[in-house]
Amino acid sequence: MSYRINLFRVVDALSSGLDLVGIDDLFHGKRVGLMALRVAEELSWPRARRESLLHAALLHDCGVSTTTEHEHLATEFEYGNAQEHCRVGSDLMRGVHLLRDLAPIVRYHHTRWDEMARHWIPSSIAEMANLIFLVDRLDVLRAALGGADEAAHREMLLAPLADAGGTLFHPVLVEALRRATEKEGFWADLRPASLHARLTERAAAFATTEKEIGFDELKSLTLMFAHIIDAKSHFTAEHSIKVAETASYIAAEIGLEPAVCDGIEIAGLLHDLGKLRVPDAILDKPGPLTDTEWRVMRHHAEDTQDILFQLFGNTAITQWAALHHETLLGDGYPSRCPAERIPLEARIVAIADILQALVQDRPYRDGLYPDQVMTILDDMAGAGRIDRRITGFVRAHLLPCWAVAGGCHERLCAA
């Protein structure tokens, strides 16, 4: 099966997911993208180069999953451990055919300009990476104003960047940034009300057309984001990947069409995309969540739906992923959907999510054994919360389902 995508729309949607990691500092990636483009226009860079710059800028923080790391990057002008997320992000992008050419830009986007030469990278890559570094730091300085008028504080914002010209930043880029900030609308366009429209206008100039990609290409893209999601906490390592494998296994074994199984796998990989917004302290908390923490946790389903709608539109994949916390009693979240509006595919993803979470170690308990998992699933099915047919399949194939979800046979034999 093939899928039609627009690369800018895909990158923009994935950038929205990454921006959730900042929790309160939304749209960082988009601001960096727009500012980088404004500077590139000052330098009359060719259209193809500006397009690569925009996509790399939107995804430059794809190696950041935790709110703790984001806090360092957002508050320290030159964070000492910044190279780690550059390396992680670059490694992730190299695994995605559509994004592979952007990996070197992301790899060096926190590298000082006076150190670029020793890395033996092409000057075009070095300049794009350093430009992202430059406007990324400008956005950190801008955020520290706390909402004050950036235009009125322009010289104060640019001073530390100018002081670092020739060391952290290429002097030509610093001067081009100065010229760009003098132009009408530079600062106003960074406001949420204008930001997406300005980005979309510029992206339209690149004439990026929709293209057909196969399932393997789509899966490599969604796998990248599954890795980012699962890296939020060591307690959820491989959760999205195992949910996808479990849901796809169940779907195939009960006889659904291969194309449907593929869609279910994609939904499983992306079902927790909204958890990028959940603070690390909540995900790793060893005890019960407070009411406030629980409300924050529950909001991840709505965030997932919003981003997937931007990525896929109101398609089956979006719905299958977004409905994974709804129940057949109509008391789930985020929409309290009644049973008749929850398709079989979404019910499969929901049960795969529960099954994998029970198998996996969590901060408040060790992973459960097959009989313990089945007791909980039977109780939920008996109460009418989850689908009895799918639960019955899991019961009849308990050990394979438990193993696909991440159960360890060695641990089972040692029990």
pLDDT one-digit tens code per residue, 244-256: 999 999 999 999 9
Token pair 């909204």 is at which residue? 274
Angle (CA) 244-24-85 rounded to 5° is 60
pLDDT attached to residue 20: 76
pLDDT one-digit tens code per residue, 174-230: 999 999 999 989 999 999 889 989 998 888 888 666 778 888 998 998 999 898 888
pLDDT attached to residue 365: 76
Using alpha carbons, select from 83, 43, 53, 52 the residue that is nearest to residue 174. Answer: 43
Q: Are 168 and 113 in contact (CB under 8 A)?
A: yes
Question: Could you give the C-alpha distances from 374 to 62, 337, 382, 394, 398, in angstroms and in order?
Answer: 37, 25, 12, 8, 8
Locate 57 and state its tokens. 């800028």
Q: Are 123 and 165 in contact (CB under 8 A)?
A: no
Q: Are 297 and 282 in contact (CB under 8 A)?
A: yes
CATH for 2-204 is: 1.10.3210.10
Where is average pLDDT lowest: 62-71, 129-138, 340-349?
62-71
CATH for 215-414 is: 1.10.3210.10
CA distance 114 to 91: 24
pLDDT attached to residue 73: 80
Q: Could you check whether 2-204 and 215-414 share the same CATH topology?
A: yes
pLDDT one-digit tens code per residue, 374-394: 999 999 999 999 999 999 999
DSSP 338: -
Report the sign of the C-alpha dihedral through residues 202, 206, 212, 217, in that order: negative
Using alpha carbons, select from 21, 121, 115 the residue that is nearest to residue 63. Answer: 21
Q: What is the mean pLDDT of residues 282-308?
A: 88
Q: Are 21 and 279 in contact (CB under 8 A)?
A: no
CA distance 332 to 354: 14
23 pLDDT more than 60:
no
Question: Could you give the C-alpha distances from 111 to 15, 79, 99, 163, 174, in angstroms and in order?
Answer: 22, 11, 20, 17, 15
pTM: 0.88
Taking residue 25's Cβ as centre, other Cβ atoms within 10 Å add up to: 15
CA 89 to chain centre: 11
Locate 397 and state its tokens. 């194939």
Q: Are 248 and 279 in contact (CB under 8 A)?
A: no
Where is average pLDDT lowest: 14-28, 357-371, 380-394?
14-28
Where exactly are the structural domains of the chain? 2-204, 215-414
What are the φ and ψ backbone dihedral angles of 381, each rounded to 5 degrees?
-65, -40
DSSP 366: P
Total residues found in the chain within this entry: 415
CA distance 185 to 58: 20
The confidence band for 279, taking pLDDT boundaries of 50, 70 and 90, is confident
Q: Which residues contact 108 (CB under 8 A, 6 or more apart)?
A: 86, 116, 119, 121, 125, 126, 129, 130
Q: What is the CA radius of gyration of the chain?
A: 23
Locate 106 and state its tokens. 């992301």
Q: What is the mean pLDDT of residues 150-154?
A: 92
